[in-house]
Amino acid sequence: MASGKVHALIGIMIFFMFALVLFMFASDLGLTENIFESTLITATGLFALVFSVLGSILPDIDHRRSNIYKQTRNFLCVLIAIALFSAALMHTDDLATAAVAAVAGFVITFVAITLFKPRHRGFTHTIRAAIIYSLVAVTIYYFSFEKIAEYSGTTPDESVMVLLSTMIFLVSFTAYFSHNAVDMEFKL
C-alpha cells in the first residue's frame, strides 16, 4: 500500500497541472483584468488545491491505520463530545454531569465508528465514489462563488462559471481517481 504521503504528493502534482491550465485559460480569456476576476481565479486555485489533496487521500478513510481515518474519527468524537457538553449545560448547572455526557458521547462515537467502518478498499476505492466526491466538490465550489459574487456585487459570466466548474470537477475526479489507480483498484 502506498502511504498517505505518496497519495498526497500525486494530488499536489495534479493540482499544479490544473493551475497551469487555469492560468493559460485565465490570461487567454482576459480573466485577470479586473480585481473580481483575479479574485475568482485565485479562489478557484485554492479550491482546486484543497480538493486535489483531500481527494487523493480521502479513499483511505476506510483504513484503520490511515491518518485521514484517525483524524476524521477523532474530529467526530470531539465534535459530539462538545455538542453533548453544551446541550447538558443548557439543562443543568452541574459541570460533572456535563462532563459525564461529554465523555459518554466521545466513547460511544468512537465505538460506533470502529464497529461500523466499511471494509478497506471497498466503496471508497471505486469510480462511483470518485464521481460522488467530484459532484460534492463542484457543488461546494459553485455555491461558494454565488456568495463571493453577491458580496462583490458582480455576476460572473455564465460560460466562465461553467468552464471553471467543469475544471473543478475534473481536477477533483482526477485527484480522487489517482488514489485508486495507485492502489490498482479500478472497480466501478
User: Rounded distance, CA 167 to CA 22, Å?
Assistant: 8
Nearer residue to Zn ion within complex by CB, 110 or 183 = 183
- C-beta closer to Zn ion: residue 1 or 135: 1
Task: To the nearest 10°, report the CA torsion of 101, 105, 106, 108.
Answer: 130
Q: How far is the CB of 6 from Zn ion (least distance, A)?
A: 10
Nearest to 61 by CA among 140, 125, 2: 125
To the nearest whole angstrom, how small is the minimum distance from the Cβ of residue 179 to Zn ion? Answer: 6
Per DSSP, what are the bridge partners of residue 52?
none
Integer Cα distance of 147 and 31 in angstroms: 19
The C-alpha cell at 132 is 460522488
Residues 28, 41: Cα–Cα separation, whole Å: 13
Check the CA dihedral 37-38-41-44 and report its sign.
Answer: negative
Contact footprint for Zn ion (CB under 5 A): 59-60, 183
CB of 28 vs Zn ion, minimal distance in Å: 37
Residue 185 C-beta: closest distance to Zn ion, Å: 7
Smaller CB separation from Zn ion, 37 or 60:
60
Residue nearer to Zn ion on the CB measure, 44 or 56: 56
DSSP state of 156: -
- Shortest spacing between CB 182 and Zn ion, in angstroms: 8
- Closer by beta carbon to Zn ion, 123 or else 151: 123
